[in-house]
A and B are shown apart, each in its own frame.
Chain A
Amino acid sequence: MKLRNRLLPFGAGLAALLLAAGCATGSQPAANSGGADENGDITFSFWGTNSEAASLKAIAAAFEQANPGTKVTTNWIQADYEQKLQTSIAAGTQATVIEISNTSLAGFAPSFAEQQVDPTKFVQPNISEALKYDGKYYATPFTAKPKVMAVNLDAFKAAGLPAPSPTTPLSLDEFKTIVAKLSHGEGKKRVYGTSNMWFKGWLTAAGGGFYNADATACTFGDQQGVATAQYIVDLQKQRYAPSSIDIEGQDQAQWFAAGRLGTFSDFGPWTVADFAKISKPNWTLVPVPGKGFPMEVGGLAIAKNASGKKLETAKKFVEFVSTQQVAQDLLIQGNTALGVPIIAASTPTLEKVLPPERNLAAFTTALKTGLISPSVPREGQISGDADKGITSYTPLGSGKDDVAKILPGLNDKCTAALKQ
């Protein structure tokens, strides 16, 4: 028996199958491998919903158009963005230009190239400040994501309440009184004074913070933290605010449209689309009570391993996205926005998406007063573990335990993890 005869068909078959596998995997180029760049084509990775992805794809296309001969391949990572970024950095397959949020910058700074940023180009200097790590810029801002609050004017009228000021935020006490008056009804018809309350957001609004200013300790379990948690738990107990179980799998914009919510906090620029189609109840935007919710800053980082022509194109692209009006205007797609433009020339673009009585200008105000949370390394793990504990054990999530008993313990664990 001839062994070679036996071996050949097997080997050939295997080779053919593997080749077929390769061919079938399509003709698109694989992700940029970083080194040895003979062309200036770049890749650009980002996260987000469909509309946010549409925005960034449009910006990439606009850049290609403005710079003939360049090619930007977009890579939309829907979920687990930071995790995917880490594995791709480990494998050396990260994109050339990488969208990064100020909150997760600290963990990735060592993998990013340092950048030169001119803070004066942006409407607000603190915006670029958010993307500094160890005193150096590791990303250039291209958008900010402040939060505002939508109020149901019909509900206010029905409850005999005056409409809140479009520019001055309510205090937390005023807010509590108002939502109490807005709430009524029972069961699935229950009208809540406010949407589900985001602990981290309200913590900032009340003057507290998840971490202290220099990110050396967690502070969500301090006196202010417990008081804020208690504030939320009280509102939930009075059924002025729905609990996270009440809204499980529910679309709160839908609730607002159905008149089931008096106010809707945690209203980001991307929420505009959901609300644009709502004409009844009549609504408008006002600042979030207290000091407002923390503002996220979207930045663009350049991979450290980018070099040569790729690096040049990447720099040009980052510059284009963060300072050119064409690009900044594209943050607004139809009736929604990925974020608020950060150059003065594009500010009106967002404000004009809806009629003036909707007060989209509230975003511009919020952009100027928005507080920025410090960035910590291993943010995902640290705040993830804390969040898990909070939602598991306290009524801020699906638990039943007393916040005063749970939060300080979680806080200590969080600080310990931070110091590791």
Chain B
Amino acid sequence: MNPTIGWIRQLAESWGVPAVLVPLVPFLVLLVALYAVIGLAAYGAKRAWPRADKTIAFWLFISPWLIGFLVFTVGPMLSSVYVSLTSWDLITPPKFVGVANYTEAFQDPRVGQAIKVTLLYAVISVPLQTALAFAVSLLMNVDLPGIRLFRTIWYLPSLVSGVAQIVLFLWVFNPQYGLVNDVLGKAGIQGPGWFNDASWALPTVILMSLWTVGGAMVIYLAGLKDVPTSLYEAAALDGAGRLRLFWHVTLPQLSPIILFNVLTGIIGALQIFTQGFIANGGPKDSLLFFVYYLYDNAFQNFRMGYASALAWILFVIIMALTAVTLRGSAFAIYYETEMGGRRRRPRLRKG
């Protein structure tokens, strides 16, 4: 613990602050001090430049995010550069080792395996999920009696997520007594070992991820409902068939949502952890997801330096990946709306 923090804590304890609140006091003190400075600065700025009112308001409004970004992201990342150059088990003082952690990481076959498993999962599960969710949302968008019941049923599984879902699927895919192999067995098929089989473990996790496709489904459904009917009618008047309607109206209208979902899907896939954790990395490291390997090194083996080096490698990979995906996705949507916004405003003025 930091000495200043410890000092404030002791002060708080001696003032009779309840024990559960004691850890919070130093943080609050720092935060209040910070906001006092910000408030004073803003007040001063306001008096000096009364017309900058909007600018000051803007910075105050985003100050929570900005502070959080600096305190919880930028600061820790900078300090992790140093940690990545040390050997440290949390208990004994860190020892400077130079780039040894990085050289070890580049030679560690498990790093390669972790990258491979994680990328494979992302590359396979995201398109599959997207395609399935989109197809299902098209199905669910048809105006049939009882469709709401079907929507409910298909959405329900996505409520069973996280640890509960994995606990359930460990049983569903139990090689001897599980649901799936029981059904396959009745059909005369000898099912695979699923989570217990190195070559099946990853496909099993991907299959599991498809089960919760309902979450993405409702998002596409919302998008489909937002497509203006007039567009379909206009296209239908032009004699477009169902397929052409889909290709020329539905798909372009939904493409920003799809792109956005793909992007968040990739980010989510790269962050996959719990599955690897519960399966303990899977047989032959078949479920050694990168974040799990990172966690394993940091909080199971307490190799903080090595884990920090791994984090930086992950960071570089993700930056490279998103540089590829970015153009078509969030930035595209952002710039599009930005442009749209600029186009709209003059029009309003004219009108």
Contact = CB atoms under 8 A, between A and B. Distances in A.
* A and B touching (Cβ–Cβ under 8 A): yes
A248 B175 contact: yes
B56 A3 contact: yes
Contacts of A164: none
Contacts of B89: 86
A372 B46 CA distance: 74
By size class, the interface of chain A is 35 or more
A246 interface: yes
Nearest to A15: B28
A385 B91 CA distance: 22
Given A86-B90, A248-B176, A11 B20 contact: no
Given A36-B10, A90-B91, A249-B171, A27 B18 contact: yes
Interface string A80-106: 100100110111100000000000000
B42 A7 contact: yes
Interface string A376-390: 001011001000100
B284 A399 contact: yes
Contacts of B283: 391-392, 397-399
A245 B177 CA distance: 10
A11 B32 contact: yes
A18 B20 contact: no
Chain B binding surface SS class: helix
B85 to A, nearest CB: 19
A80 B32 CA distance: 37
Nearest to A26: B20
A170 B91 CA distance: 46
B20 A25 contact: yes
A78 B258 CA distance: 42
Interface stretch (B297-305, B307-315, B331-339): B297-305
A3 B43 contact: yes
A25 to B, nearest CB: 5
A92 B1 CA distance: 8
Chain A binding surface SS class: helix
A76 interface: no
B177 A7 contact: no
B39 A86 contact: no
By size class, the interface of chain B is 35 or more
Nearest to A388: B281
Nearest to A249: B174
B19 interface: yes
Interface in A1-58: 1, 3-4, 6-7, 11, 14-15, 18-19, 21-23, 25-30, 36
Contact of B90 (A7, A30, A90, A246): A90
A119 interface: no
Contacts, number: 105
Nearest to B13: A36
Contacts of A87: 90, 299
Nearest to B170: A249
Contacts of A249: 170-171, 174, 177
A399 B92 CA distance: 38
A231 interface: no
B175 A18 contact: no
Interface in A49-85: 80, 83
Contact of A246 (B20, B43, B176, B285): B176
A198 interface: no
B245 interface: no
B196 interface: yes
Contact of A30 (B20, B46, B92, B198): B20
- Which residue, A29, A245, A248, A391, has most C-beta atoms of chain B within 10 A? A248
B197 A398 contact: yes
A18 B43 contact: no
A22 B17 CA distance: 11
A19 B21 contact: yes
B171 to A, nearest CB: 6
Interface string A242-271: 000110111000000000000000000000
A174 to B, nearest CB: 30
A175 interface: no
B28 A392 contact: no
B280 interface: yes
B181 to A, nearest CB: 11
Closest 8 CB pairs of A and B: A90-B90, A22-B21, A392-B284, A398-B196, A381-B301, A392-B283, A29-B19, A30-B19
Given A7-B60, A86-B90, A388-B285, 11 more contacts: A11-B35, A15-B28, A30-B19, A89-B90, A245-B176, A245-B193, A248-B174, A249-B170, A249-B171, A381-B300, A388-B281
Interface of A: 1, 3-4, 6-7, 11, 14-15, 18-19, 21-23, 25-30, 36, 80, 83, 86-87, 89-92, 110-111, 188, 245-246, 248-250, 378, 380-381, 384, 388, 391-393, 397-399
6 contacts: A3-B39, A22-B24, A26-B20, A248-B174, A249-B171, A388-B281
Interface of B: 1, 10, 13, 18-24, 28, 31-32, 35, 39, 42-43, 46, 53, 56-57, 60, 89-92, 170-171, 174-177, 193, 196-198, 280-281, 283-285, 299-302
